[in-house]
A and B are shown apart, each in its own frame.
Chain A
Amino acid sequence: QVQLVQSGAEVKRPGSSVKVSCKASGGTFSSVSWVRQAAGQGLEWMGGVYPIFGSTTYAQHFRGRVTITADESTTTAYMELSSLTSADTAMYYCATAPRLPPDTWFDAWGQGTLVTVSS
């Protein structure tokens, strides 16, 4: 079973960017997605990276503002979100899937990284 360890909490100013990392160990690194959750709200998929294909997909809501990358040599994925506003204050999770879409599911999750956007 893959284990995912994310980087620590971040406090950012409005208009800036944040980059969160997700280190995988103990398994394959075929697909990593990022999901965010604002306080008291539901889960929102942001996008995913598929290192085996060198490709990424993004949710429409985040296109142009999020960049998801992966370094296979270090089995680490990254999510960078730019032009931050207070609406981006949330817990950000990475998750891996054992198979590629569409027949896929998130069977391992990171512990979450809290990003706070405040002036």
Chain B
Amino acid sequence: DIQMTQSPSSLSASEGDRVTITCRASQSISTYLNWYQQKPGKAPKLLIYDASRLQSGVPSRFSGSGSGTDFTLTISGLQPEDFATYYCQQTYSLVGFGQGTKLEIK
């Protein structure tokens, strides 16, 4: 199985900040990497697919990059509604998720 490791596990930031979340795969997954946002009591929401493609309707302050084993999700100019938990997902071999990164208000 491909292991997905996110860092950090939690992160405190302020409105307006730029934050970066990292996801590392245990082997190369090309760009078969997606990012999701989940708020308490809600289903996950797709933000980024194919490592860097912005899902329709998602604000442009969200961006993704990377290929192979190392990927990043960047949020430029945090808004109040961005405080949530973020997950990366690989679909190169079956499906696997990272353990999540909880983004909290500082």
Contacts A43-B87, A106-B46 hold; do A60 and B100 have CB atoms under 8 A apart?
no
Contact across chains for A105 and B87 when beta carbons are under 8 A apart: no
Question: What residues of chain B lie closer than 8 Å to A93, measured between beta carbons?
Answer: 43-44
Provide the bound-state CA to CA distance between A93 and B95, in Å: 14
Contact across chains for B91 and A104 when beta carbons are under 8 A apart: yes
By the criterion of a CB under 8 Å from any partner CB, how many residues of chain A are at the interface?
23
By the criterion of a CB under 8 Å from any partner CB, how many residues of chain B are at the interface?
25
Main secondary structure of the interface of B (DSSP, over half): loop
A25 at the interface (CB under 8 A from B): no
Contact across chains for B34 and A106 when beta carbons are under 8 A apart: yes
Binding site for A on B (CB under 8 A): 1, 30, 32, 34, 36, 38, 43-46, 49-50, 55, 87, 89, 91-100
Contacts A43-B100, A106-B46 hold; do A33 and B1 have CB atoms under 8 A apart?
no
Q: How far is the CB of A60 from chain B (nearest CB, A)?
A: 7
Provide the bound-state CA to CA distance between A57 and B91, in Å: 12
Question: What residues of chain A lie closer than 8 Å to B50, measured between beta carbons?
Answer: 103, 105
Contact across chains for A42 and B91 when beta carbons are under 8 A apart: no
Contact across chains for B44 and A43 when beta carbons are under 8 A apart: yes
Interface residues of A in 7-62 (CB under 8 A from B): 33, 35, 42-45, 48, 57, 59-60
What residue in chain A is nearest B43 (Cβ atoms)? A109
18 contacts between A and B (CB under 8 A): A35-B44, A42-B98, A42-B99, A43-B97, A45-B97, A48-B95, A57-B94, A93-B43, A93-B44, A101-B91, A102-B30, A102-B32, A102-B92, A105-B34, A105-B46, A105-B50, A105-B91, A107-B55
